[in-house]
Amino acid sequence: MANVKTYEIMTPESVGLKKTELVLGKHSGQHAFAQRLVALGYTVDKELEQKLFADFKVLADRKKTIEDRDIAALVEAATGHAPRANDWKLVNYVVSSSNKMYSTACVTLAQGRREVTESAYGTGPIFACIRAVEKLVRHPFSLQDFQIQAVTERRDALGEVTVKISDARGTFRGRGVSTDIIEGSILSTLDAVNKMLDGPATALSAGAASKAQHSFDEADMLSGHTDK
């Protein structure tokens, strides 16, 4: 166990406190992060701890101070679906949006070592990104529900996005957290998509997907428009 004197310049008792609550930020190490997980009541294996720490470092680059609620949100998002080698993961995205034109999105996803990119348009940037994801995974689905809520306060608040999608086999829920609601929307959609594609059923071929009927009427709630 690390010596507390290496990261505390004084004891809590010397200033009348019973314990120390270290503030986590971009310069915090994995050991301090792991200790905070334990303090919050989370028990995770080493592999998940490393993934959470990587997510934490990305978030710390965007927020000056990481709150316990931020860490809790990262843990809850990461433990909703056990990762698999063939899960789809977000690499990057670029969106173009205006109140005078349709939004367009260019999204790049990775599946293992393979990266693929696709573009799509919609009545809003989130709508366009979800359409691009659907084209990339080559499996049509319907967006049934979409919700955003702030996990923390202030301008750099961490936002939580939850979605519900469905295909011919059933309904699947996804969850994503980010300081960027567009990124959070993509992450939550991918969480649901990976659950949808999990199991014996396989994704449709490119030809079959292109012929399938899209059902994005519900997604228009994001913009209040109809895009047919």
Res 227 pLDDT > 80: no
pLDDT of residue 40: 75
Please give the Cα distance from 13 to 21 (Å, whole number). 13
pLDDT of residue 22: 56
Q: Where in the chain is the domain with CATH 3.30.160.270?
A: 88-222
pLDDT band for position 108 (50/70/90)? very high
User: What are the strands, taking DSSP E only, across 112-151?
Assistant: 114-122, 142-150
Average pLDDT over residues 39-60: 82
Average pLDDT over residues 66-95: 79
Task: Say if CB 187 and CB 90 are below 8 A apart.
Answer: yes
Res 9 pLDDT > 70: no
Task: Collapse the DSSP code of 127 into the 3-class scheme (helix H, G, I; strand E, B; otherwise coil) and give the result.
Answer: helix
Domain 88-222: what homologous superfamily? Alpha-isopropylmalate synthase LeuA, regulatory domain (3.30.160.270)
Task: Say if CB 35 and CB 41 are below 8 A apart.
Answer: no
For the whole model, what pTM was predicted?
0.60
Task: Collapse the DSSP code of 64 into the 3-class scheme (helix H, G, I; strand E, B; otherwise coil) and give the result.
Answer: coil
Mean pLDDT comparison of 2-6, 37-41, 116-120, highest-scoring range? 116-120
More confident residue, 98 or 41: 98
pLDDT of residue 90: 94
**Tens digits of per-residue pLDDT, 137-177?**
999 999 999 999 877 666 666 788 989 999 988 888 888 88
pLDDT of residue 188: 92
Nearest to 166 by CA among 108, 129, 214: 214
